[in-house]
């Protein structure tokens, strides 16, 4: 599984990155996590408000920080 955190480095973006990494580690999910901070790269996903969570090239959350439970549901579905 390939996970991307889209965000320019704001507090919410850092929070999403931290929560996602914790969920992956805690649940033993086999995933690589990449942080994308380049605004042009972020816009390629059609994301206008960050942070955003991309799983296997599909935008699953944008413009907010989901709870750890929500991230777990997304990643284990």
28 included as an active-site residue: no
Please tell me the total count of domains within the chain.
1
Q: Which of 1, 8, 9, 10 is catalytic?
A: 10
47 included as an active-site residue: no
Please tell me the pTM assigned to this model. Answer: 0.94
Task: Please work out, in degrees rounded to the nearest 5, the angle formed at the alpha carbon of residue 16 by the alpha carbons of 12 and 20.
Answer: 170
Query: Which of 3, 2, 7, 15 has its CA nearest to residue 62?
Result: 7
**Residue 31: which CATH number?**
3.40.30.10
| Domain assignment of residue 11, given as a range | 2-76
Task: Please work out, in degrees rounded to the nearest 5, the angle formed at the alpha carbon of residue 74 by the alpha carbons of 30 and 70.
Answer: 120
Please write the tens of the pLDDT for every residue from 12-64: 999 999 999 999 999 999 999 999 999 999 999 999 899 999 999 999 999 99
Q: What is the pLDDT of residue 3?
A: 98
């Amino acid at each position: 599984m390939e996970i991307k955190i889209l965000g320019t480095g704001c507090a919410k973006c850092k929070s999403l990155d931290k929560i996602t990494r914790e969920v992956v580690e805690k649940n033993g999910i086999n995933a690589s996590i990449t942080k994308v901070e380049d605004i042009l790269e972020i816009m390629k996903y059609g994301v206008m408000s960050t942070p955003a969570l991309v799983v296997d090239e599909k935008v699953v959350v944008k413009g907010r920080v989901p709870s750890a439970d929500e991230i777990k549901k997304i990643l284990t579905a």
